[in-house]
């Protein structure tokens, strides 16, 4: 029997996946909420995303079961939400479930609500039968239904307590520190050392990265190491950064044939990935690799950026030049099947390949008859190319060429397999992250295609993700644009991308657009202590407005807006922007010091407080060449403004030379040194900071 429910009209690929379950799913909206109130039914809110492995498992085991569907339809109003389409709902109810379960969270997220939307109980994956002290899904449903019928006040009291706790939770993270009449910052040099010590305690000296298993890239914490080296010449921080990046690139978390990073590994050594690939992870890692390349000039990092870019173009690019959100871990119902090999497959694929290169390839990528994961083979590199070449007395350049030939051959064979599912949502914030990453890659490597692609993304965002009122929207899929208004991180990441677009083009329209977006965000998202709410003031279908303070897999909207306010404040000479950024940082000082890994981008703002930002104003016909040369170096304390002739920008006004010569002005708080006419001279001054 074929079932259909209201999800078949939705644009989200995840909701479409559940459109023919026997469960009478509703999308989040007034219709479902009104039904729950009218019938006095509890709400089951089930949140996931289309490339989520355990979401697929629970659907197959429970939501496709007609018996389960009948019970859910009788006792609950069931609502399905795509966390990528409505991250605001995900944030609220994830926090509720973590409070109920003692910190356990993830997807699928199954949260039970009163008819008024207040949560009282929840969890993640529930099996079809009781296992390992975990109740089955039907046991959970049955127990809650019985309590709701016999003791509803018990559930209502629990929901009220949880609701009050949720509202107070974020206030505990902020201190509301005033800067005082003299404007002194509450931050001291000891804060930087304290954060570094905290990160050092959690650094994995054996495998790189932070924590043990599962192991995530933790890009913001790695960026703290990068900044620590730049500002403090901390050699250990640089060693830890490179060790971590190299380990990821060599590991199973990186697709050795096709490029692109998986979301995480289930082990601490980066060997065994959870095979889904997310756009945001790859964008953040490309940006970090680009900045690391600026400092190290390590060819491995440029090569990895190029491979990730090739993967993005071949597998993630939409026809209009924006980028899809994710690739599933599963294909043909099996996790990783598209990516892994068995020994017989490799032997057949390489049957006609000449020795010794066939065996060299197998050794280089840790392939053996026994396999390295459940009898199968995940291609990964136990050591560097140079180290392997030296151990085998091979020429590194020839080795790379021969490995590339075999990789291309295997990639062609792999392309014939059934591919994992792809979520074709275009999410504003993630596309803006990618635009920023590509612009950083362009600064580091100077490949024009990176710049062209990034500017193309920004153009398409402006074209497709605004409503008739000119308001930003969060996402679209195909020709269906979701009406959901943009969130604070959509604004933050788009502003940052426009600031970088100005740095590489010096077209002032990007600054103007960044300022427009900042003003719109301030008008619609402002909260106390200079902070920002995640959702728009016009969002009326949520339990309460969260502030989105944690830096998790992506930076928070608040920490990113703080960085943007500081930079825009300098470029446009808007003191109120810089004051707000300082107020935001001060409000979060206690949390930054205590949990730098959870507030990684906040922590990186410490460097801007402790080390003065310098402004670089370039005028004359050499402005583009000189700026490009400067930007090929990593210098996060530099803010650029440049023009060939004249400009009304505060940093450039009145600096045009009467004789038309090109000059570079190095400034700090708009107090400028005498101009110089060579990059080498100004770079020497910067390095002697």
What Rg do the C-alpha atoms of the chain give, in angstroms?
Answer: 26
pLDDT of residue 185: 63
What is the rounded (10 degree) CA torsion for 644, 645, 646, 651?
40
> Among the listed ranges 39-43, 171-175, 213-217, 262-266, which one has the minimum average pLDDT value?
171-175
Per-residue pLDDT, averaged over 551-568, amounts to: 97
Q: How far apart are CA 487 and CA 475, in angstroms?
A: 11
Most confident of 198-202, 229-233, 410-414, 542-546: 410-414
Q: Summarize pLDDT for 283-336 with one digit per residue, the tens.
A: 999 999 999 999 999 999 999 999 999 999 999 999 999 999 999 999 998 999
Residue 600: φ, ψ to 5°: -65, -40
Angle at 575 between CA 569 and CA 579, to 5 degrees: 90
Which residues are within 8 A (CB) of 299 and not within 5 positions of it... i.e. 6 or more apart? none
Contacts 24+ apart (CB under 8 A), 136-145: 137/58, 137/61, 137/62, 137/68, 138/62, 138/68, 138/71, 141/68, 141/71, 141/72, 141/75, 141/76, 142/71, 144/42, 144/112, 145/42, 145/75, 145/76
Rounded Cα distance, 683 and 678, in Å: 9
Measured between alpha carbons, how far is 219 from 241 in angstroms, rounded to an integer? Answer: 10
Nearest alpha-carbon partner for 420 in 335, 322, 325: 335
Q: Is the pLDDT of residue 650 over 60?
A: yes
- Quote the CA–CA distance of 129 and 136 in Å, as a whole number: 5
Interacting residues of 425 by C-beta distance below 8 A, sequence separation 6+ = 12, 13, 82, 84, 85, 324, 325, 475, 476, 477
* Tokens standing for residue 332: 């043909």
Q: 462: closest CA among 512, 506, 503? A: 512
Check whether the bond before 108 is cis (ω within 30° of 0): yes
- Which residue, 558, 550, 487, is CA-closest to 528? 558
* Non-local CB neighbours of 407 within 8 Å, separated by 6+ positions: 256, 257
> Which of 198, 218, 215 lies closest to 206, judged by CA?
215
The pLDDT value recorded for residue 72 is 98
Phi/psi at 682 (nearest 5 deg)?
Answer: -70, -35
List the structure tokens of 305.
């950026």
Q: What are the CA-CA distances from residue 308 to residues 285, 289, 304, 394 (Å)?
A: 10, 11, 6, 27
pLDDT digits over 160-177, tens only? Answer: 999 999 988 776 666 554
> How large is the average pLDDT for residues 348-371?
96
- Asked whether residue 149 carries a pLDDT value surpassing 90, the answer given is yes
Q: Is 360 helix (H, G, I), strand (E, B) or coil?
A: helix
User: Quick one: pLDDT at residue 168?
Assistant: 80
Q: Of all residues in the chain, what percent carry a pLDDT higher than 90?
A: 87
- pLDDT band of residue 662 (cuts 50, 70, 90) is very high
Q: CA separation (Å) from 194 to 78, 201, 590, 597, 628?
A: 47, 11, 11, 12, 35
What are 20-34's pLDDT values in tens digits? Answer: 999 999 999 999 999
> By mean pLDDT, which of 23-37, 171-185, 450-464 is the weakest?
171-185
What does the DSSP 8-state code read for residue 314?
Answer: I
CA distances from 409 to 352, 400, 403, 404 (A): 11, 14, 10, 9
Query: Quick one: pLDDT band at residue 181, thresholds 50, 70, 90?
Result: very low
Query: Does 210 score more than 50 pLDDT?
Result: yes
DSSP, res 114: -
Q: Is the dihedral of CA 362, 364, 368, 374 positive or negative?
A: negative
CA 139 to CA 137: how far, in whole Å? 5
Average pLDDT, the chain: 94
Is residue 451 within 8 Å of residue 445, measured between CB atoms? no
User: Which ranges of 506-604 does DSSP label H, i.e. alpha helix?
Assistant: 508-525, 557-571, 575-587, 589-594, 600-604
What phi, psi does 56 have (nearest 5°)?
A: -60, -40
């Amino acid at each position: 029997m074929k079932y259909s429910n209201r999800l078949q009209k939705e644009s989200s690929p995840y909701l479409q996946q559940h459109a023919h379950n026997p469960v009478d799913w509703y999308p989040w909206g007034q219709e479902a909420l009104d039904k729950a109130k009218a019938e006095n039914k509890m709400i089951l809110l089930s949140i996931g995303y289309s490339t989520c492995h355990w979401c697929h498992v629970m659907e197959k085991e429970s939501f496709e079961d007609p018996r389960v569907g009948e019970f859910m339809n009788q006792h609950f109003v069931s609502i399905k939400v795509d966390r990528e389409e409505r991250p605001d709902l995900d944030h609220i109810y994830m926090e509720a479930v973590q409070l109920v379960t003692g910190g356990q969270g993830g997807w699928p997220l199954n949260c039970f609500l009163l008819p008024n939307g207040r949560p009282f109980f929840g969890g993640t994956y529930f099996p079809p039968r009781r296992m390992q002290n975990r109740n089955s899904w039907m046991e959970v449903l049955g127990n809650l239904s019985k309590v709701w019928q016999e003791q509803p006040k018990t559930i209502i009291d629990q929901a009220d307590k949880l609701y009050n706790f949720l509202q107070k939770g974020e206030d505990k993270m902020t201190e509301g520190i005033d800067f005082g009449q003299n404007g002194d910052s509450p931050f001291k040099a000891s804060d930087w050392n304290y954060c570094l010590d905290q990160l050092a305690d959690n650094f994995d000296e054996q495998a790189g990265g932070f924590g043990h298993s599962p192991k995530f890239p933790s890009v913001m914490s790695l960026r703290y190491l990068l900044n620590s080296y730049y500002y403090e010449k901390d050699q250990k921080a640089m060693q830890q950064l490179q060790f971590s990046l190299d380990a990821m690139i060599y590991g199973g978390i990186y697709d050795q044939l096709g490029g692109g990073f998986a979301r995480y590994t289930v082990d601490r050594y980066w060997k065994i990935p959870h095979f889904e690939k997310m756009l945001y992870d790859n964008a953040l890692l490309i940006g970090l690799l680009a900045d690391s390349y600026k400092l190290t000039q390590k060819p491995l990092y440029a090569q990895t950026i190029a491979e990730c870019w090739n993967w993005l173009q071949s597998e993630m690019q939409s026809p209009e030049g924006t980028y899809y959100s994710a690739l599933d871990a599963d294909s043909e119902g099996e996790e990783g099947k598209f990516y892994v090999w068995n020994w017989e497959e490799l032997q057949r694929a390489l049957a006609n390949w000449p020795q010794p290169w066939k065996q060299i390839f197998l050794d280089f990528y840790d392939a053996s008859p026994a396999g390295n994961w459940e009898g199968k083979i995940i291609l990964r590199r136990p050591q560097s190319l140079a180290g392997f070449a030296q151990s085998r007395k091979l020429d590194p350049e020839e080795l790379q060429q021969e490995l590339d030939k075999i990789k291309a051959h295997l990639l062609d064979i792999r392309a014939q397999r059934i591919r994992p599912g792809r979520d074709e949502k275009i999410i504003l914030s993630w596309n803006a992250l990618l635009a920023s990453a590509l612009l950083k890659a362009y600064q580091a490597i100077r490949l024009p295609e990176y710049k062209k692609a990034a500017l193309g993304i920004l153009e398409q965002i402006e074209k497709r993700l605004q409503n008739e009122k000119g308001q930003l929207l969060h996402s679209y899929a195909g020709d269906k644009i979701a009406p959901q208004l943009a969130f604070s991180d959509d604004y933050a990441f788009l502003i940052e991308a426009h600031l970088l677009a100005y740095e590489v083009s010096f077209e002032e329209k990007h600054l103007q657009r960044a300022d427009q977006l900042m003003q719109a965000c301030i008008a619609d998202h402002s909260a106390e202590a200079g902070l920002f709410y995640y959702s728009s003031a016009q969002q009326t279908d949520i339990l309460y407005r969260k502030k989105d303070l944690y830096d998790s897999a992506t930076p928070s909207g608040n920490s990113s807006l703080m960085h943007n306010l500081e930079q825009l404040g300098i470029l446009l000479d808007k003191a109120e922007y810089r004051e707000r950024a300082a107020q935001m940082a001060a409000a979060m000082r206690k949390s930054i010091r205590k949990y730098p890994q959870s507030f990684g981008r906040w922590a990186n703002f410490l460097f801007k407080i402790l080390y003065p930002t310098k402004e670089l104003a370039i005028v004359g016909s050499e402005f583009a060449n000189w700026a490009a040369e400067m930007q090929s170096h990593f210098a996060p304390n530099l803010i650029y403004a440049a023009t060939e002739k004249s400009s009304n920008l505060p940093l450039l006004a009145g600096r045009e030379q009467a004789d038309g010569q090109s000059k570079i002005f190095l400034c700090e708080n708009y107090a400028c040194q005498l101009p110089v006419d060579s990059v080498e001279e100004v770079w020497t001054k910067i390095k002697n900071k």
